[in-house]
């Protein structure tokens, strides 16, 4: 097709100026919400809360706010109140007739974080935060206490102002600050019911990262406990490390901590070792969790290895001529928080998941080389315990290396075949393939009959796999069930895991909906989190949801996922007088039932396992799979009634 013919074709197809759509104001957000908040599912819904709270936290980081109150209202709204400076209420110079507060709430890329004197350090850098919240809400109300007056401004229907900013009375004596209340739009989101535990956990992290900041959370919705939760930590990230290690056994009581500030940049680090086998390093930049790490985390890791080896050599704890401890050896059982603040952070990608400032790597490394070395010299007993633990890890690493090599030789990657009990699919295109992990041969038999043999594979496991939270890699790799998992997925494990080599786009845990099934799911999720973390981070792990009940409506059998679905069914069928059938274990389901309810792509319901907050995921694994029975019981009792989706 030549150029002339192509142009003619476009004209004939009606592609003219009138076909160009221009979205103005907040319309782009309503049209494509996923571009701004990631999704319209639970994570996107809660992202609205984070955007509003981030503004208040920025006020705290700037030194103007000491308290934030977050309340889930009985009518489904969320209110965030702070005692900061309050939104600017004077007229914006570029928007005549509009207050600065209205501009911030209705114009994308408008805010106090793009230069000027509003904020030296802030978390929200894209400038679309609170305006996006406004766009995706049926109603938003702003109240500002400033200059002795209380100002109010309200929006409806996705960001349309109801009048102008007006003074509605006197502010309480001496009070300044803002109150933002919003009601998410049910036409935008899959659901608009906030999860209290998700918000509570995030607010606690904010409090840990901002020493002395008081954050209160209250849930006024029907059926929830209205008692406020108060988060305030005088020790800041030192308290954060203690909290993360509460479910573990610390190697020693002291928490090492140090801070350095120079030229508008701050480094704040706290660390403590425990007797476990996994490292838990969590990094933040301007209060944002950098779950993919970055320069600040790289600088810490490199300097940590250097400092511990230097200390060990000076104390003759490593024999003459012996190899140095590796970073992996030194970090075994380490819990650390690396928090930095800087004026011009460079984040990689819209998710802000990785910090790219090279200068920060140098600053963190210098701080660690100097300050941590001083701490080890001042605490030689604890330093010796760290080195001894690292030496044990070094010996285990050598043993694990041999075990890994043996596993590789047996694996499909080296052409030696797949585990014998795997019922593989015929397709070799990973993008369309999925693997069901089932417990027991009976359930496997039903799953094999119910599957699509072209794209769905089934791997039966026997009983409960090894609890990897309590085992080093060398012991773990001797476990037959874990070997089968590694070989089936085909991408290695731990530091050698290569996500490009995975054989299945989805790995689906299919277990009974009882206590034993829950335990099996937890063991498998712990294994994936600890040994195939990139697999979890990329969203490849799912949990199947076999129904608990069935009911007969006429000649049709209806399947009900859980007690909530059963109650809803009763409400919708008030005259239903038949018994509900409690479905038995997967192995006792006939394969037609299993296919229709759990395996058929068009009818099933899956939960995707995500890792938005790595430190919370790490804590959950440690609590559920650790030795502290009372802590585990408390966690289960607290969360059992609030589980609607997984977020670990």
Q: Given 69, 145, 219, 439, which residue is catalytic?
A: 439
- Of residues 321 and 540, more confidence is placed in 540
Query: Could you tell me if 494 and 636 lie in one domain?
Result: yes
Q: How does residue 109 score in pLDDT terms, banded at 50, 70 and 90?
A: low
Q: What percentage of the chain reaches a pLDDT higher than 70?
A: 83
Query: Could you tell me if 285 and 338 lie in one domain?
Result: yes
CATH number (domain holding residue 318): 3.30.230.10
Q: Does residue 242 lie within any of the structural domains? A: yes
H or E element: which one contains 415? none
CATH number (domain holding residue 100): 3.30.565.10
Cα–Cα dist 341/323, whole Å: 36
The residue out of 231, 248, 279 marking a domain boundary is 231
Could you tell me which of 506, 317, 486 has the C-alpha nearest to residue 408? 486
The residue out of 198, 231, 264 marking a domain boundary is 231
Q: Does residue 311 lie within any of the structural domains? A: yes
H or E element: which one contains 103? helix 100-106
Provide mean pLDDT across the span 89-116.
Answer: 74
Q: Does residue 361 lie within any of the structural domains? A: yes
Q: Does residue 302 carry a pLDDT above 80?
A: yes
Cα–Cα dist 636/628, whole Å: 13
Query: Could you tell me if 346 and 430 lie in one domain?
Result: no
Q: Given 225, 370, 514, 642, which residue is catalytic?
A: 514
Q: How does residue 21 score in pLDDT terms, banded at 50, 70 and 90?
A: very low
Q: Does residue 245 lie within any of the structural domains? A: yes
H or E element: which one contains 262? strand 256-262
- pLDDT for residue 205: 94
Q: Given 7, 344, 405, 516, which residue is catalytic?
A: 516
The residue out of 364, 398, 432 marking a domain boundary is 398
Instruction: Kindly report the pTM of this predicted structure.
Output: 0.72
- pLDDT for residue 183: 97
Query: Could you tell me if 191 and 94 lie in one domain?
Result: yes
134-138, 537-541, 555-559: the lowest-pLDDT one: 555-559
41-50, 116-125, 482-491: the lowest-pLDDT one: 116-125
Number of neighbouring beta carbons within 10 Å of residue 510: 27
**Average pLDDT score over the chain:** 84
- pLDDT for residue 635: 55
- pLDDT for residue 411: 47
**Helix, strand, or coil (residue 346):** coil
Query: Could you tell me if 42 and 173 lie in one domain?
Result: yes
Query: Could you tell me if 165 and 310 lie in one domain?
Result: no
Task: Compute the half-sphere exposure of residue 228: CA atoms within 13 Å on the CB side of its CA.
Answer: 11
Query: Could you tell me if 78 and 111 lie in one domain?
Result: yes
Cα–Cα dist 578/264, whole Å: 70
Q: Does residue 335 lie within any of the structural domains? A: yes
Q: Among this protein's residues, is 59 annotated catalytic?
A: no
The set of residues, in sequence order, having a beta carbon less than 8 Å from that of 521 and lying 6+ positions away, is: 509, 511, 543
Longest C-alpha distance within the chain, in Å? 84
Sheet holding 334-341, edge to edge: 256-262, 265-273, 334-341, 280-285, 288-289
Q: Given 54, 145, 512, 593, which residue is catalytic?
A: 512
Query: Could you tell me if 492 and 513 lie in one domain?
Result: yes
592-647 per-position pLDDT tens digit: 888 988 999 988 888 888 766 555 556 655 555 555 555 555 555 555 444 433 33
Number of neighbouring beta carbons within 10 Å of residue 45: 23
Provide mean pLDDT across the span 79-86.
Answer: 96
- pLDDT for residue 612: 61
Number of neighbouring beta carbons within 10 Å of residue 106: 20
Q: Does residue 181 carry a pLDDT above 60?
A: yes
What's the structural domain count of the chain?
4
Q: Among this protein's residues, is 600 annotated catalytic?
A: no
Query: Could you tell me if 432 and 366 lie in one domain?
Result: no
242-291 per-position pLDDT tens digit: 999 988 899 999 999 999 998 889 999 999 999 988 899 999 998 888 88
Q: Does residue 610 lie within any of the structural domains? A: yes
Q: Among this protein's residues, is 514 annotated catalytic?
A: yes
Q: Does residue 266 lie within any of the structural domains? A: yes
Per the rule left: phi > 0, alpha: psi between -120 and 50, beta: everything else, 177 is left
Query: Could you tell me if 321 and 378 lie in one domain?
Result: yes
Q: Does residue 20 lie within any of the structural domains? A: no
DSSP secondary structure code for residue 585 in this structure = -
Cα–Cα dist 548/581, whole Å: 8
Q: Among this protein's residues, is 512 annotated catalytic?
A: yes
Query: Could you tell me if 624 and 562 lie in one domain?
Result: no
Query: Could you tell me if 574 and 517 lie in one domain?
Result: no
The set of residues, in sequence order, having a beta carbon less than 8 Å from that of 506 and lying 6+ positions away, is: 433, 434, 435, 540, 542, 606
541: containing domain: 417-546+592-642
């Amino acid at each position: 097709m030549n150029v002339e013919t192509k142009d003619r074709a476009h004209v004939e197809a009606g592609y003219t100026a009138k076909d160009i759509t221009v979205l103005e104001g907040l319309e782009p957000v309503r049209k494509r919400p996923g571009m701004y908040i990631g999704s319209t599912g639970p994570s996107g819904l809660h992202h609205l809360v984070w955007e509003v709270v981030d503004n208040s936290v920025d006020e705290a980081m700037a030194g103007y706010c000491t308290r934030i109150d977050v309340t889930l209202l009985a009518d489904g709204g969320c209110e965030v109140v702070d005692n900061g400076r309050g939104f600017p209420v004077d007229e914006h110079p570029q928007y005549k007739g509009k207050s600065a507060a209205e501009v911030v709430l209705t114009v994308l890329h408008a805010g106090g974080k793009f230069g000027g004197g509003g904020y030296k350090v802030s978390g929200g850098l894209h400038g679309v935060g609170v305006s996006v919240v406004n766009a995706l809400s049926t109603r938003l109300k702003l109240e500002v206490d400033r200059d002795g007056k209380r100002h109010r401004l309200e929006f409806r229907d996705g960001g349309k102002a109801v009048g102008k900013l007006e003074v509605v009375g006197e502010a309480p004596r001496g009070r300044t600050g803002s109150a933002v209340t919003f009601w998410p739009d049910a036409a935008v989101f899959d659901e608009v019911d906030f999860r209290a535990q998700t918000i509570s956990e995030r607010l606690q992290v904010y409090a840990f990262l901002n020493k002395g900041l008081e954050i209160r959370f209250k849930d006024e919705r029907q059926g929830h406990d209205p008692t406020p939760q108060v988060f305030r930590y005088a020790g800041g990230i030192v308290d954060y490390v203690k909290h993360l290690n509460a479910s573990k056994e610390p190697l020693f009581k002291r928490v090492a901590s140090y801070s350095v500030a120079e030229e508008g940049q701050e480094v704040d680090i706290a660390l403590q070792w425990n007797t476990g086998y996994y490292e838990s390093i969590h990094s933040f930049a301007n209060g944002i969790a950098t779950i993919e790490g970055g320069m600040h985390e790289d600088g810490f890791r490199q300097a940590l290895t250097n400092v511990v080896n230097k200390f060990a050599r000076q104390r003759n704890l490593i024999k003459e001529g012996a190899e140095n401890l590796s970073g992996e050896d030194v970090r075994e059982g380490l819990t650390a928080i690396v928090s930095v603040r800087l004026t011009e952070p460079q984040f990689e990608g819209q998710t802000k998941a990785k910090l790219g400032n090279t200068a920060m790597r140098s600053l963190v490394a210098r701080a660690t080389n100097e300050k941590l070395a001083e701490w080890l010299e001042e605490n030689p007993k604890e330093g010796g315990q760290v080195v001894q633990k690292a030496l044990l890890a070094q010996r285990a690493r050598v043993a694990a290396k041999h075990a890994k090599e043996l596993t590789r030789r047996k694996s499909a990657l080296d052409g030696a075949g797949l585990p014998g009990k795997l019922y593989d699919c015929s397709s070799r295109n990973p993008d369309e393939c999925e693997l069901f992990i089932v417990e027991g041969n009976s359930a496997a038999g039903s799953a094999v009959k119910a599957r699509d043999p072209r794209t769905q594979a089934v791997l039966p496991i026997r009983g409960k796999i090894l609890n990897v939270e309590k085992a080093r890699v060398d012991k773990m790799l001797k476990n037959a069930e874990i070997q089968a998992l590694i070989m089936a997925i085909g991408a290695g494990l731990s530091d050698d895991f290569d996500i490009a080599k995975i054989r299945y786009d989805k790995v689906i845990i299919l277990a009974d909906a009882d206590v034993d099934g829950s335990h099996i799911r937890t063991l498998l999720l712990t294994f994936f989190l600890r040994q195939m973390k990139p697999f979890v981070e990329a969203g490849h792990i799912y949990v199947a949801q076999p129904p608990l009940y069935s009911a007969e409506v006429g000649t049709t059998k209806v399947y009900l996922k859980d007690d909530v679905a059963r109650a809803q069914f009763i409400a919708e069928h008030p005259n239903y007088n038949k018994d509900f059938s409690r479905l038995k274990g997967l192995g006792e389901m006939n394969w037609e039932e299993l296919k229709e309810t759990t395996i058929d792509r068009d009818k099933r319901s899956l939960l995707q396992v995500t890792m938005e907050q790595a430190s919370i995921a790490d804590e959950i694994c440690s609590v559920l799979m650790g030795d502290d029975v009372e802590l585990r019981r408390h966690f289960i009792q607290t969360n059992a009634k609030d589980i609607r989706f997984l977020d670990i």
